[in-house]
Structure 1
Amino acid sequence: MSYTPLTAVFEFEGGHYVPLLPAVFDFGGSYAGYVLPPSLVTSLTSTWSRPSAAADAGAVAGWSAVGQRDAVGVSGWGVGQVVDLQCDAPWSGMPAKDSSNDLEWGTASAMDGAATRAQWGDLPAKDLGVAPGWDQSIQPVEWQVRLVYNPRVPAKDATTRGRYQRSAEYRARKLQQQSSQLYVPPQPLAFAFDGGLYTPSVNGAVFFTFALPPTVAGQIGPVDASTGLPVRPARRVNHGSRLPWGRATPLDPVPTGIEYPDYEGPITIITPPAEPDILETYMIANSVSVVVLPDRVALDATNIRIGRDIDSFAWTLSANLFGRTSLNQVRPDASGPKEVEVTINGHVWVFLIERYSGARQFGKEAYTVTGVSRTQLLAAPYAPPRSRVNTADINAELAASNELINTGFTLNWDSYTLGPPDWTLPAGAFSYQSQTPMQVIAALAETAGGVVSPALASDELAILPRYRAPVWQWSSAVMDRIIPAAIIDDLGSEWQPQPDWNSCYVSGTNYGVAVDVRRTGTAGDNPAPDVFADWITGTEVARSRGIAEICKGGQQEIVTLNLPLFPAETAPGLVTPAQLCEVRDVDETWRGLCLSTEITAEGIGASRVKQSIRLERHHAEGA
């Protein structure tokens, strides 16, 4: 808001300042208070009464007469020296020439009352409505700018309005601006700048600001709180119709194209085995190397034998060394057993040398060393026995994984695709005394009809089913290896018939269930020996164990095959225990379960290598 006077005259030393017409002063802003300018103090009066001498007439204050004895500079509290006249305070006396610059409320001359009087002292009546807000003079007409945030909603919108009657739900929030007000002093004011800039008083109570106040936040604006979506767990549908016996085991080896929208488990495609190449002549460049870890010092060894059977949890090594120098490279010391790495045709094993024996003859020393794979570290004498009991429900896979905590080993238990299945052990059921981690893991695998399969060189072990598919379903099952007759060097068999069992009674002891597992399509009249185990606490584990026991019976033979050890990228490669193999013989094709594998090498370097496997073949319908 601005005010335009008729004529504004400022008294400056050396002449008059006449601004251009019209002169405009913008007093928009805030007013902090009012105090008299510090240049005039009307409350100080002189205490002397003598008239001053004629020479002091120029320093006489304009508002009273000074006595004669005051001419010598006597102060109110004593008689001062003449020399004190040079350091009088500036407010004790004013030169006569400054009388023309007196403020309007002092004693002004006649010419000051008319010519230099500020024209804005008498404000028109229309400006009275802009009185400052701190003096209770606000007129009722100014309330018309008040914002209302709770307008009444029409009746038709009563069902869709917000709960808190907010307005402008979708409008951007705007800040309210503070309106400036015009300050009207009670009397005319005169500004004396004396040719310089205006400097406010240091400790004054009145300051004038001509700057526009910044935009500040006004009252709280509406927000779209009523349009937010609540976040909470999704509603569970068809909770009562789910199957109570857990996840189903996928039986299809390849995708069938049928979608199962209600199945949430993983879908694993079992890749069929690679077809071996049938050639007239096979040329294999065998390569054998034995080094001591971690320095990888080459070791001269002969008669190397590596093997494992289906019921073992570690690979074994046997080799011959010549000379005490070679023996000292692998002989155990205060740090424990030494590790050796054996590489045969690209397949790598790592062994711990546990024992050695020697034979000395005149001019000849020969030693035989034996070792095991690193999974032996989970058994005696390396792992101390311990006891445990579970205080809460726990599943078998988690219980086996807990045995490997802080050991560096990892467990792979594919309970959905390969098996064996996982099950729950209630509180108090999973208990044992003085058992090593490997004993506990092997016992859990045996409870479900599975076996422990160690890795060749890494700290890993897997739980595999002894019979990935029942014997009577081998003809339709996906095999792990295909062995053609063209690569079989030698073949032998041993007939080992067993009763043709068709049922098995499996039960827990202190905890668990009792299940009579019967082969489908049979009367179950030839049961296998009953099985009792502490950790059989579910029907799924009892069924898996019963199938494994029934598969051990029937007319069967143990077939031994000698074949080359092909590299990993060439089929069939290395055949390991618990793998199902399809043997394509000259006159027939049959399937069998690998029970053991043995690799022999005559020496290091370019050596003669042979792989010997033992297969369990069943002569039954569907096998």
Structure 2
Amino acid sequence: IDSKIPIEPQIQRYYIMQPSISCSRLSDDLKILINNITCTWQRGQFAATGNIKFCSRIDMERAIGQQLKLVINGYEFIMICEQPSTSNRFANNSYSASIRSRFAELAAPYQRERNYVNTVDKTLAGIMADILENTGWTLDNKMIDYPIPEGAFSYRGLTPGAALLKVASSIGAILDINDTTKTVSVVPEWPVNPWSTEQATPDVILNDALILEHNTRDTIQPEHNVVFVRGEQQGVACKIKRQGTPATDYARDIVDNLITDVQAARQRGTCELARSGNKRTATIRTKLKQDLPPIRPGSLLGVRFEDELYKATVDSLAVSANISNQGAIMVNQTIQAVRNV
């Protein structure tokens, strides 16, 4: 029984918005005054990136090199404040900095590059646990686990963050990071295959009453229904085909040293076939509310727009918050969602 219930904000005659934003240092809860922040999460990245603008030079100096806790409309985000930037014009000085989400602490310059080889038999989850060992982060693997023989997998010159992303990409997965609990979930790049979304239950349903802007862009590319996926010295070789098709349109062969089991080949091959074909990317700007949380990349989104309900995979999320000179707060989230056409 599929008991999944999607998040769907109620349709109302009008919506009362009470946006709020606060920023403080995670280490000592020192308040930092800001007037603008933008941050973007994308599939295929291990950390969100963005920019933050401060109210004064002192606020910027207090924030640089620190982990910041941002609470936007009740939702908590942990960011590392990194490279500062100043702009000085007559009667108008501004102070800003680039930011990355908390998982960036497992990347340069906070971690050194490392080398790795599995010297004993491992599983996929075991290798990912090795990468996260002694980092303070917890693994939540939602991919099908499988055995990896001794010496089959290695990497050279990668930080833990880059290494974990490499492993996830090898099996058609992405990293879904919870910066608050320091948990790394490894989830499929496509939660539902694009050709099967019509029967699937979305994670979130967005109705057009809450859509402030809706734009689409089509990408034309070949569609594949079969692909060869194989490992290296200790790998397997599999022909992965899309069910119900004649398996005549071949994608480029995939070779990866983590393809040591048919489950690995199936997961990676399915991802490659899902990437192919004509795509329509919808860019949707909406609000961030108590009953409409940040719509995370990798989730399945249902959109009620112009008498149509379509379903698409969320490819990216951008959250923006701005405080005007008069103190008015504006908070939006912008989603890019991809579907087959």
Q: Choose which of 454, 477, 499 in structure 1 pairs with 2:200.
A: 477
DSSP-derived class of the 1:298 partner: coil
Structure 1, residues 558-613: CA drift from partner, whole Å, max 9, x if none? 1000111112xx1x321010000111122211100000001111128751111100
Question: 1:279 maps to what in 2?
Answer: 12
Q: Structure 1 residue 360: deviation in Å?
A: 1.3
| Residue 403 (1) aligns with residue 168 (2) | no
CA distance in structure 2 between the partners assigned to 1:521 and 1:413 by the alignment: 29
Q: Which amino acid aligns with 1:618?
A: N
Q: Which amino acid aligns with 1:412?
A: D
CA distance in structure 1 between the partners assigned to 2:334 and 2:317 by the alignment: 6
Q: Structure 1 residue 540: deviation in Å?
A: 0.8
Give ranges in structure 2 of 5+ residues lacking alignment. Answer: none
Q: Structure 1 residue 298: deviation in Å?
A: 2.1
CA distance in structure 1 between the partners assigned to 2:172 and 2:238 by the alignment: 15
Structure 1, residues 196-250: CA drift from partner, whole Å, max 9, x if none? xxxxxxxxxxxxxxxxxxxxxxxxxxxxxxxxxxxxxxxxxxxxxxxxxxxxxxx
CA distance in structure 1 between the partners assigned to 2:321 and 2:89 by the alignment: 25
Q: Structure 1 residue 434: deviation in Å?
A: 2.1
Question: 1:342 maps to what in 2?
Answer: 70
- Two-structure CA RMSD over aligned residues (Å): 1.6
Q: Choose which of 28, 31, 48 in structure 2 pairs with 1:315.
A: 48
Question: 1:449 maps to what in 2?
Answer: 172
Does 337-346 or 293-302 show the bigger shift?
Answer: 293-302
DSSP-derived class of the 1:593 partner: strand
Alpha carbons 2:103, 2:179 under 8 Å: kept: no
Structure 1's 401 and 459: CA in aligned 2 closer, same or farther, altered over 3 A?
Answer: same
Q: Choose which of 467, 470, 486 in structure 1 pairs with 2:190.
A: 467
DSSP-derived class of the 1:475 partner: helix
Question: 2:114 maps to what in 1?
Answer: 386
- Between the two structures, name the one with larger relative contact order (CA 8 Å, sep ≥ 6): 2
CA distance in structure 2 between the partners assigned to 1:327 and 1:386 by the alignment: 33
Kindly report which structure 2 residues correspond to 1:125-164, keeping only aligned pairs within 5 A, or say none.
none
CA distance in structure 2 between the partners assigned to 1:387 and 1:339 by the alignment: 28
Structure 1, residues 478-508: CA drift from partner, whole Å, max 9, x if none? 2111111111111001111221211111111
Q: Which amino acid aligns with 1:338?
A: Q
Question: 2:313 maps to what in 1?
Answer: 593
Q: Which amino acid aligns with 1:286?
A: P
CA distance in structure 2 between the partners assigned to 1:439 and 1:522 by the alignment: 36
CA distance in structure 2 between the partners assigned to 1:392 and 1:445 by the alignment: 20
| Residue 328 (1) aligns with residue 48 (2) | no
| Residue 607 (1) aligns with residue 332 (2) | no
Kindly report which structure 2 residues correspond to 1:120-199, keeping only aligned pairs within 5 A, or say none.
none
Structure 1, residues 353-398: CA drift from partner, whole Å, max 9, x if none? 1101111123432111111112111112211122222222110111
CA distance in structure 1 between the partners assigned to 2:211 and 2:317 by the alignment: 15
Question: 1:359 maps to what in 2?
Answer: 87
CA distance in structure 2 between the partners assigned to 1:482 and 1:324 by the alignment: 42
Q: Which amino acid aligns with 2:192?
A: A
CA distance in structure 1 between the partners assigned to 2:169 and 2:110 by the alignment: 22
CA distance in structure 2 between the partners assigned to 1:467 and 1:347 by the alignment: 25
DSSP-derived class of the 2:18 partner: coil
Alpha carbons 1:287, 1:606 under 8 Å: kept: no
CA distance in structure 2 between the partners assigned to 1:615 and 1:321 by the alignment: 31
Percent identity (aligned): 28
Question: 1:512 maps to what in 2?
Answer: 235
Question: 2:32 maps to what in 1?
Answer: 299
Q: Which amino acid aligns with 1:554?
A: G
CA distance in structure 2 between the partners assigned to 1:366 and 1:503 by the alignment: 54
Count of residues paired in the alignment = 339
| Residue 499 (1) aligns with residue 222 (2) | yes
Q: Which amino acid aligns with 1:588?
A: E
Instruction: Compute the TM-score of the two structures, normalised by the length of structure 2.
Output: 0.95
Q: Choose which of 561, 571, 578 in structure 1 pairs with 2:298.
A: 578
DSSP-derived class of the 1:529 partner: coil
CA distance in structure 1 between the partners assigned to 2:168 and 2:174 by the alignment: 6
Higher Cα Rg, which structure: 1
CA distance in structure 2 between the partners assigned to 1:364 and 1:271 by the alignment: 52
DSSP-derived class of the 1:528 partner: coil
| Residue 377 (1) aligns with residue 110 (2) | no
Question: Whose strand proportion is higher, 1 or 2?
Answer: 2
Q: Structure 1 residue 469: deviation in Å?
A: 2.0
CA distance in structure 2 between the partners assigned to 1:410 and 1:511 by the alignment: 29
Q: Which amino acid aligns with 1:587?
A: D
Alpha carbons 2:302, 2:311 under 8 Å: kept: yes
Q: Structure 1 residue 539: deviation in Å?
A: 0.5
